[in-house]
Amino acid sequence: MNNTSNNTFKHILTAVFIAFFASFSFSAFAEEVTENHEAATEKKFDAGKMIIEHISDSHDWHILGEGHSAISLPLPIIVYSNKGFACFLSSNFEHGHAAYNGYKLEENHLVAVNEAGEIDEATTASIIDLSITKNVATLMFSVVCLLWVFLSVAASYTKNPNKAPKGLQSFLEPLILFIRDEVAKPSIGPKYEKFVPYLLTVFFLILFNNLLGLIPVIPGGANLTGNIAFTMVLAVITFVITTINGTKHYWHHIIAMPGVPKPVLLILTPIEILGVFLRPFVLMIRLFANMTAGHIIALSFFALIFIFGEMSTGAGLGVSVVSVAFTVFMGCLELLVAFLQAYVFVLLSAMYFGSAVEEPHHEAHH
């Protein structure tokens, strides 16, 4: 009876936490969207522009407010062009309203300007932007956090060998064992051990940043896993590992599949070679699209409030009830998607590794 009561209490506590987390996250989104709308009351509300601004990268970390009165954390601008090397804080741009040192922000993109304030096309084309943007800062923050967590957990295992895990160890160990025993072993086979470190690194990196992206205040609020450059790099690393570890058997099946008539190979071989490059492409698009779609849907519900509010105050108030309810639901769903997308990326990567290192069946039988 005690166990049943404890389980019920845990379920209730989990449900309350999810509801609170979702409500907090999207109420903060709502506050920020409201500020944007109030700052532009003289202009017609542009839902598309608002959504793009919120899901795209930026050169500062927005905290509160809008326009010249906005409060934000400035990030370093590091740029090289035909003018030479320059380094300064993004606060000098005054939230995109001013030029500084011959540069200006146009829709979060760095451009060069002349003394008259007009865009200098030649210099802009030569710009190499090495700035620490919000996504880069989030990546650095997540790397530091993950290193701290796992180095401390590793130290605990060293100090207390062959003992039951405690604290953070007890939370992380089931996830680590799940990736090793339920993903790596079945998908890769006997050679799974060399790939486990990479799979664990990618899983926790994606999971941590997925969850961090649901928190709209510092140090969250960045759409890192919804940035196609981030997902592309992870997909390319998976592609390189698969290609390097591909056995003779693996490449033989791709270039000239055994038992297939040669005329058919003229059609099948190009398809197999194309499939080698499509696999990382699918990894890249899947993670990017799913994480970005969640943010777009949530912001779209809030945008409906102001779209209908411009028609009439009553319509805006009526739609707001439905919009907030759906947004809270999306928040709960996004928590599930955060775990699911990290798992799917790692599972597909493990399957690609398994196909690359698979030995011929007759050799395995002997």
Q: What is the pTM of this model?
A: 0.79
For residue 144, what are its two tokens?
């530091």
Tell me what pLDDT residue 23 has: 46
Amino acid making up residue 1:
M
Show me where the domains of the chain are located. Answer: 65-131, 135-365
Q: Report the C-alpha gap between 360 and 288 in whole angstroms.
A: 35
The tokens describing 345, both together, are 């990326």
Instruction: Tell me how far apart the alpha carbons of residues 219 and 141 are, in angstroms, rounded to a whole number.
Output: 8
292-327 residue pLDDT tens: 888 888 888 878 887 877 777 777 777 778 888 887
Q: What is the pLDDT of residue 114?
A: 84
Residue 343 pLDDT: 94
Q: How far apart are CA 292 and CA 228, in angstroms?
A: 10
What's the pLDDT score for residue 65? 61
* Spatial distance between the Cα atoms of 345 and 203, rounded to a whole number of angstroms: 8
Q: What is the pLDDT of residues 219-267, one digit of tens each?
A: 777 888 888 999 999 999 999 999 999 888 888 888 877 777 778 778 8
pLDDT of residue 258: 77
Residues composing the chain:
366
Report how far residue 239's alpha carbon sits from residue 281's, in angstroms, rounded to the nearest whole number: 9
Cα dist. 302→214, 313, 325, 335 in Å? 16, 15, 11, 19
pLDDT digits (tens, 9 = 90+) for 65-84: 665 666 778 888 888 988 88
The full 3-state SS of the chain, as one line of letters, equals CHHHHHHHHHHHHHHHHHHHHHHHHHHHHHHHHHHHHHHCCCCCCCHHHHHHHHHCCCCEEEEECCHHHCEEEECEEEEEECCEEEEEEHHHHCCCCCCECCEEEECCEEEEECCCCCECHHHHHCCEECCCCHHHHHHHHHHHHHHHHHHHHHHHHHHCCCCCCCCHHHHHHHHHHHHHHHHHHHHHCCCHHHCHHHHHHHHHHHHHHHHHCCCCCCCCCCCCCCCHHHHHHHHHHHHHHHHHHCCHHHHHHHHCCCCCCHHHHHHHHHHHHHHHHHHHHHHHHHHHHHHHHHHHHHHHHHHHHHHHHHHCHHHHHHHHHHHHHHHHHHHHHHHHHHHHHHHHHHHHHHHHHHHHHCCCHHHHHC
15: Cβ contacts below 8 Å, ≥ 6 apart: none
Nearest-angstrom CA–CA distance, 22 and 330: 8
Q: pLDDT at position 18, please? A: 47
Beta strands 71-74 and 60-64, pairing class: antiparallel
Q: How would you write the pLDDT of the chain (366 residues) with one tens digit per residue?
A: 445 544 554 455 454 444 444 444 444 444 444 444 444 444 676 777 777 777 788 888 777 666 566 677 888 888 898 888 889 888 887 777 788 888 888 877 888 888 877 888 888 888 888 888 888 999 999 999 999 999 988 888 888 777 777 777 888 888 999 999 999 999 998 888 999 999 999 999 999 999 988 887 777 778 888 889 999 999 999 999 999 998 888 888 888 777 777 787 788 888 888 888 999 999 999 999 888 888 888 888 878 887 877 777 777 777 778 888 887 887 788 888 889 999 999 999 999 999 888 877 654 444
Q: Are 213 and 224 in contact (CB under 8 A)?
A: yes
Instruction: Check residue 13 and give its pLDDT.
Output: 47
Q: Which residues contact 96 (CB under 8 A, 6 or more apart)?
A: 104, 105, 106, 108
Return all residues near 95 (Cβ < 8 A) that are at least 6 apart: 60, 67, 68, 70, 72
